[in-house]
Structure 1
C-alpha cells in the first residue's frame, strides 16, 4: 500500500478514535500502528544493533551540525498520524522517546524517498512562519538535510501553536524509500533537541493545551487486530490498559528518559546492580553494556552475534528487571527469537555505552507513563486482552475500509 494511502487510513482511524472517546476530556488518544511487514529475525536484530550503535554515539558533521541516527524502516517501530499547518496537512510519524526533534519531508524535496510520502507545503498554510535555519541529520546509510520552519502541529486532538520543526529537502540513502512513516516526532527532553528546538509535547505543556504534563504508551506486538500497535495518550494514563498500580522511578538525566534499575537478572543469576537504563520507543531491542551482555551470552553459550543452538524456549528463565523494589519479568519467548533450531538473543550490546536501552522487548510488556512535569517514569504490566473500546474502534475502522470509505480521498 502506498504511503499516502496509509496516511489517509491513519487519519480515518484517528477520527474514529475521537468519536469513540468523546466522553473522555482529560485523556487525548492517538492510535499507534506498527509496520505490517515486520518479522523479528536474527538479521533484523543485527541490523538494529548497528543502528542503535549509531543512534547513541552522537557525532558532528563537518559543518558542525549534530548527528542524530535514524532507524531502518524494517525495525519494529510504532507510528501514528499528526497534522501540520492550517488547513491541516497530515503525516505519519514515528513517536520516538529517544530523540527530541520533529521533522517531515518538504514539498521541495526531490529525493526518491520523498516521492511516495506526504510532503509539507508551507505556502498552503496560513499559519506557516519561515525560519530558514539549516539543519542536517545523519543516519546509518545516508543523511537528511533541510531547514527549520514554524507552524501549528496537532495530534490526539491537541494543537501546538508555532512549533519549530525540520523540513527535509534532501534524503540520501535507502532507509526511508519504503518506510511506512513520513517523519519522526521526538518526545525526549529539550536538552536533547538539535538546534535547541522546543519539543512538540513540551510546547503543548507550555501553551496549556494538555491537562497534565504527562504522556503514556500502550504498545502491542501481537494480538488479533491487524496492525494495531497500541495507543499514545496525552495528558495522563489509562488504568484499563495495565494491571495494578504504576511503579514510579525518577529520571536521573533529563535528556533521554534515563532511570536507575535496582537489579537485572536472568533467572536467579545476577547480571547488574544499580545500572542506568533508558526507555526508548524508537528501539526494538534491549541493549546492555558490554560487560553485562558478555555475561548473558555466556549463560546461553551464544556467539558474538548472540546466536546459539536451541530446541524449545520453555526451559529458559525469565529476564527480571527490578525497578524501585518491584520485579518486572519478561519471559524467554520475548527476549529470545527462535528460527528452527537456531536462537538469537533480542538483548544486544554496543560499544562505548554504560547504560541499558529498554526498547520494545521491555516496553511491549509494560505500560509506560512519561511524566514530564515530575521528571519520572511509571511502569505496570499491560493488560493481556484488548479492551472492548479498542476492539470496537478497530472493528469500525475495518468496516469502513471494507465499505470503501477511503475512496473519498481519491
Structure 2
C-alpha cells in the first residue's frame, strides 16, 4: 500500500511539473472575430481600398509616417489587453503589418471615443507622462494625440514602461463601428511611429518570454460565434497544426516579408520568386497588378474580380510554394459566391510589387513569427482542433482533477 501511495505521489508530481513547464513556455491570449461579419463583394472592395492606403505610406508635416488602417468592419482579429495599475482593459487588433500600440484617451470627445473604452491616466499609479504629439492619417479619417508610458499586460505577461499612443481626436465614421478600441502593432521597430519600441520587443528585452517568438492560430471557419483563435507568445503549439513548420527567412525586417518559390492557380504558374508579407491586419490576399491581371483572366473576372459562377468545386486550388513546400487553399476560401455571382478574395493595389498574405491565407496556415531568427514558419492548421482545445489551462486543469481523483480511488 505504501509503495502504491508513493507511486501515485510521484505520478502526481510529474504531472504538475509538466503543467508548470507548459505554462512557463507558452503564453496565450484568445483572439476574436467580428460576430456580424459576412464576406461579400462589397466588403472585399472596401478592404482592398483600405489596404491600398495602408501600404501607401506618406509623411505629414511633423514628420510622422501615415499608417493606413484596415477596414474595421471586415474580417479582423482582436483580443484583450490591459494598461495601467490597476488594470484598465481594452480590445485591440493584433496587427503584424504595423508596430505601434494606441488606444483612446480620456480627453477624447470624438463620437468613436465615446463608444469605446478610454484610458484614464489619472487612475494609474504606474503612468508616466511623455507628451510627444503623434498623428496618424487613415483612408477615411485620422487619429491624433500624444505618447504616454505605462504598464501593458496580456496573456499573463506585464510589460513595464511601454510607450503607447493616447488618442485625443478620432475622425471618420469607420472608427465608430469598430469592434475593438485600438491597435497593437507586432511589426519590427523600423515601422514604428516616432521610434517607439514595439510591445513584443519590450517583452523580449524584459525577459518575459522564453523565446523571441510569437505565433497566430486564426480560425476563419470556426463553429463558435465571435471565436477567432489565439495569439501565442514565446513559441508555437504543435497541437494546433499538422506536420512540421516550413521556415522562410525574412528579406526585410520591417514588415514580415519573405520570398515565395512560386504562386499558382492549379497548374497555371502565376509568379516565381515574388516577395510576400504575412499581415494579420489584412483580410485578403493582395497580388501585384500584373499577377492579379493574369489571375483575373483565368476566371474571366472583371476589374473588381467578379465573374459568373455555379459551383466552386470546379475551380482549382490557390497554391503558394514556400521553401519547396506547397501550401494549398481551396477555391471556397479564396472565392466568395453570392448566388450566381462570384468574387475573388484575391485583389490588387497599385502601390506594391509584392504579395500581401492576409487572413485568407493565414486562416488556413498556422504561422510562427520568429523575431530572434528573423524568419516565418508555416504549417496547415489542425483539422482536429476544436474551440475547447484553446482553453488549455481549463481543460488541463479538468483532466488533472479527474486524474488526481482517480489516483486516490
What TM-score, normalized to structure 1? 0.90
Partner in structure 1 of residue 31 of structure 2: 32
Q: C-alpha displacement at 1:395, in angstroms?
A: 10
CA distance, structure 2, for counterparts of residue 310 and residue 42 of structure 1: 14
Partner in structure 1 of residue 99 of structure 2: 100
SS in 2 for 1:282: coil
CA distance, structure 2, for counterparts of residue 392 and residue 89 of structure 1: 23
Partner in structure 2 of residue 15 of structure 1: none
CA distance, structure 2, for counterparts of residue 329 and residue 394 of structure 1: 32
CA contact (8 A) 2:84 2:125 kept: yes
Q: C-alpha displacement at 1:222, in angstroms?
A: 1.4
Partner in structure 1 of residue 308 of structure 2: 309
**Quick one: structure 1 residues 395 and 303, their matched pair in 2 at CA, closer, same or farther if it must change by over 3 Å?**
farther
Partner in structure 2 of residue 51 of structure 1: 50
Q: Larger C-alpha radius of gyration, 1 or 2?
A: 2
**Quick one: structure 1 residues 153 and 44, their matched pair in 2 at CA, closer, same or farther if it must change by over 3 Å?**
same
Q: CA offsets per residue over residues 200-252 of structure 1, 9 Å max, x none?
A: 00000011111110000000011222211000000000000000000000011
Partner in structure 2 of residue 350 of structure 1: 349
CA contact (8 A) 2:229 2:390 kept: no
Q: CA offsets per residue over residues 37-71 of structure 1, 9 Å max, x none?
A: 10000000000000000000101223332100112
Q: Does 1:155 align with 2:148?
A: no
What TM-score, normalized to structure 2? 0.90
Matched ranges for 1:3-402 at <5 A: 24-387=23-386, 389-390=388-389
CA contact (8 A) 1:225 1:394 kept: no
SS in 1 for 2:174: coil
SS in 1 for 2:321: strand
Q: C-alpha displacement at 1:159, in angstroms?
A: 0.9
SS in 1 for 2:333: helix
Q: CA offsets per residue over residues 266-324 of structure 1, 9 Å max, x none?
A: 00000000000000000010000000000000000000000000001000000000000
CA distance, structure 1, for counterparts of residue 159 and residue 192 of structure 2: 17
CA distance, structure 2, for counterparts of residue 202 and residue 69 of structure 1: 22
SS in 2 for 1:95: strand
Greater Cα shift, 59-68 or 106-115: 59-68
Gaps of 5+ in 1: 1-19, 397-410
CA contact (8 A) 2:72 2:174 kept: yes
CA distance, structure 1, for counterparts of residue 91 and residue 330 of structure 2: 32
CA distance, structure 1, for counterparts of residue 354 and residue 391 of structure 2: 40
SS in 2 for 1:48: helix
Partner in structure 1 of residue 9 of structure 2: none
CA distance, structure 1, for counterparts of residue 394 and residue 281 of structure 2: 27
- Number of equivalenced pairs: 377
SS in 1 for 2:173: coil
